[in-house]
Chain A
Amino acid sequence: MKDKLMEAILKVAEKLQTNRYMSAIRNAFTALLPITICGAFSVLFTSVICTPNEQGISLANFEIFRWLENLNPMFDAAYYATLNFLTIGLVVLIAIELGKQYGIQQDMTLPLVALSCYVTLCATTMIVTNDQGISFDVADVLAVKYTNAQGLFMAMISSILSGEIYIRLVKGGKMRISLPETVPSNVANAFNVLIPGVVTIFIISGIGLLFNEVFGYSFYDAIARWIQAPLTGVLTGLPGYLLLFWVSTLLWVVGIHGTQTLGAIYSAPMLLALTENTDAVLKGLEPTNILNTGFISCFTIITGAGITGGLLIAILLFSKRDDYRTIAKLSIAPAIFNINETMTFGLPIVLNPILAIPFMFAPVISATFAYWMTVIGFAQVISFQVPWTTPVGIMGFLATGGHIGTAITQIICVALSVVIYTPFVLISNKQAQMEENQA
């Protein structure tokens, strides 16, 4: 019965992991991570180092460092090139990844076609209101909502749709233009993909037109209303968030990298929530999205999935088992940088019925605690993405632009996980004792 249940869980997880669209989206987001972190640091440098700020902390508040203000254009440009241009990168990356799945990773036309298709779905005129309240149309511009994180969902759908159409047309081979053998291969290849490329762009552009004419609103608005808003609502609400990460730890317990497997589902809404916070900080507003990518790193998978830093401390304090203590000592250095494979596979936690229980509940309790600490104002809403390998405390401090309360909350979360793991470490002591007596 237990085996059957585990097999069923694994089959679902495998389906999710091997799905080519999920895989393309997941890999694309993984490749985008350094870009979002660079963007977040640009905003951090601008607001905490280079801009004089009477209400908050800033290095430029000191007269001796006032020259740092001159560096702001560099960080502003870096912010625009990274966080404000995120969606364009995602379109290109998903197309490349999809091509890789179909074995045509060297086809450079595919990402370009995907990008063109995406742009055909974007409105190129926008209404601008001036200081006197008069509105007028500005033509031939691409609004920032299409290039920053707000466009992530349309980017995913359009890139997959255009990629799929293009690849099928190219692989079908019926639209190839036959050229004499004397024509160089690179020229012949360009002609081979010409008609599939043009047809794909026309189809996607036609879909955009259809939405405008039939439904009365754009493809972007349709996705924002029907997909983006409900999904973001579920995942950035506490119950949906907790369920997702509980399932993630459940996958870990059966030996699967849960965070990666479910990454494709939560990456876009969580990143959108974080970049909205970053934008708000840059505009001098209050960030409002408590649950976001940064929150995951800061409070849900801190010291590794399952918050195993707590287990490590509990073992060092209370365990009488030599095998546990040896592995815990070896795991101290990786745990500082939130790497816990030595614990999950070394103890192991995987398929361990005693340690699996706190492993699945520690992140849920930690996330709930941190959520309410943020609601009451002790911790601050996470607004900047920092590398997930940043140690506890420093991560919370940096991710909020220098808020001590958030750093303390992070440390309390690890302390909480020590409390959660301790009874189970004591049970494992007794279990080892019983096994020894039986032997």
Chain B
Amino acid sequence: MSKVELTETQKNIIQIRKRMNRRSIEEEKFNGFTKKKMWTYLWIFLFTPYGIYRLFDENNEFLYQQKVVWLIVGIVYIVCMINQFIHIF
């Protein structure tokens, strides 16, 4: 089978495409919808302390930025709940 020699432009195209798709794969690490993560979201709203414990548990695969932002959500949620209870009682 004869090999077709690629032009410089074609080689460049292959390189750029490889670089760009490698980045897309890196961004896949952000996947926020794994089974463990979704259970953690649920626990943050059902019982926030346990949800936050799961968030920082080493066995869970949350990225640093996901931990920070969900911690903010957990804290604001707790404050809102306390506020609601104060109004009810």
Who on chain B is nearest to A255 by CB? B17
Query: Which of chain B's residues have a CB closer than 8 A to the CB of A10?
Result: 13, 16-17, 20
B69/A35 in contact, CB under 8 A: yes
In the complex the two chains form, what is the Cα distance from A35 to B27 in whole Å? 18
Query: Per-position contact with A for B31-45: 1 when CB-CB < 8 Å, else 0?
Result: 011000110010001
Query: What number of residue pairs across chains A and B have CB atoms under 8 A from each other?
Result: 107
- In the assembled complex, the CB of B86 is this many whole angstroms from the nearest CB of chain A, namely 11
Cα A7 to Cα B84 with chains together (Å): 58
- Count chain B CB atoms within 10 A of each CB in A34, A88, A260, A389 and give the residue with the most: A34
Docked Cα-Cα span, A32 to B84, in Å, equals 25
A74/B72 in contact, CB under 8 A: no
Identify the stretch in A78-86, A170-178, A205-213 within 8 Å (CB) of chain B at 4 or more residues.
Answer: A78-86
Which residues of A28-50 have CB atoms within 8 Å of chain B's CB atoms?
28, 30-35, 38
B9 at the interface (CB under 8 A from A): yes
Question: Is A89 on the interface with B (CB-CB < 8 A)?
Answer: yes
Question: How many angstroms between the C-alpha atoms of A261 and B27 in the bound complex?
Answer: 11
- Cβ of A105 within 8 Å of any chain B Cβ, yes or no, is yes
Q: Tell me whether B60 is interfacial, beta carbon within 8 Å.
A: no
Among B17, B41, B77, contact of A77 (Cβ-Cβ < 8 Å): B77
Q: Which of B52-84 contact A (CB under 8 A)?
A: 63-66, 68-70, 72-74, 76-77, 80-81, 83-84
Near B by CB (< 8 A), chain A positions 9-57 give: 10-11, 13-14, 17-18, 26-28, 30-35, 38
Task: Tell yes or no: A382 within 8 A of B by CB.
Answer: no
Size class of the A contact interface (CB-based, 8 Å): 35 or more
Q: Does A321 contact B (CB under 8 A)?
A: no
Residue contact B41 to A96, C-beta cutoff 8 Å: no
**Known contacts A31-B66, A38-B45, A389-B33; A7 and B27 CB within 8 A of each other:** no
Contacts A3-B7, A7-B16, A255-B17; A73 near B30 (Cβ below 8 A): no
Per the bound structure, the CA–CA distance linking A73 and B45 in Å amounts to 11
Q: Which chain B residue shows the least CB distance to A94?
A: B65
In the complex, whether A97 has a CB less than 8 A from a CB of chain B is: yes
Residue interface mask A60-76, B partner, CB < 8 A = 1: 00000000000001101
Closest to B25 in A: A257
Query: Cα distance A88–B70 when bound, in Å?
Result: 11
List chain B residues, Cβ under 8 A from A256: 17, 20-21
B3 beta carbon closer than 8 Å to chain A: no
Task: Decide: A31 near B32, CB < 8 A? Known: A3-B7, A10-B16, A77-B80.
Answer: yes
What is the CA–CA distance of A314 and B64 in the complex, to the nearest angstrom? 44
Taken together as a complex, chains A and B put the C-alpha atoms of A260 and B68 apart, in Å, by: 23
CB distance from A362 to the nearest CB of B (A): 22
Query: Which residues in B have their C-beta under 8 angstroms from that of A393?
Result: none
- Whether A96 and B68, one on each chain, are in contact in the complex, defined by CB atoms closer than 8 angstroms, is yes
B10 at the A interface (CB under 8 A): yes
A35 pairs with B64, CB closer than 8 A: no
Asked whether A31 lies within 8 Å of B76 as measured between CB atoms, the reply is: no
A14 in contact with B19 given A7-B13, A34-B41, A78-B45 (CB within 8 Å): yes
Would you call A197 an interface residue if the criterion is a C-beta within 8 Å of the partner chain's C-beta atoms?
Answer: no
- With an 8 A cutoff between CB atoms, is A348 at the interface? no
Chain B residue numbers with a CB within 8 Å of A92 are 65, 68-69, 72
Given contacts A7-B16, A14-B16, A31-B63, contact A93 B80 (CB under 8 A): no
Min distance, Cβ A335 to any Cβ of chain B, angstroms: 18
The CA-CA distance from A14 to B20 in the complex, in Å, is 7
One of A73, A81, A96, A387 near B65 (C-beta < 8 A): A96
Say whether, besides A14-B16, A78-B77, A81-B77, A34 and B72 are in contact (CB < 8 Å): no
Q: A14-B16, A17-B23, A256-B21 are in contact. Are A74 and B45 (CB under 8 A)?
A: yes
Asked, given contacts A3-B7, A82-B73, A255-B21, whether A76 binds B84 with beta carbons under 8 Å apart, the answer is yes
The answer to whether B9 and A3 have CB atoms under 8 Å apart is yes
B81 CB contacts on chain A under 8 angstroms: 73-74, 77
B: residues with CB less than 8 A from A are 7, 9-10, 12-13, 16-17, 19-21, 23-24, 27, 30, 32-33, 37-38, 41, 45, 63-66, 68-70, 72-74, 76-77, 80-81, 83-85, 88
- Sorted from nearest, which 9 A-B pairs have the closest CB atoms? A77-B80, A81-B77, A34-B32, A81-B76, A73-B84, A257-B24, A30-B30, A3-B9, A89-B69
User: What 20 additional pairs, Cβ within 8 angstroms, besides A27-B30, A85-B72?
Assistant: A7-B9, A10-B16, A27-B27, A28-B65, A31-B63, A34-B37, A35-B73, A73-B84, A73-B88, A76-B84, A80-B80, A81-B77, A85-B73, A89-B72, A92-B68, A96-B64, A105-B64, A255-B17, A255-B21, A256-B17
A binding-site residues for B, Cβ under 8 Å: 3-4, 6-7, 10-11, 13-14, 17-18, 26-28, 30-35, 38, 73-74, 76-78, 80-82, 85, 88-89, 92-93, 96-97, 105, 111, 254-257, 260-261, 387, 389
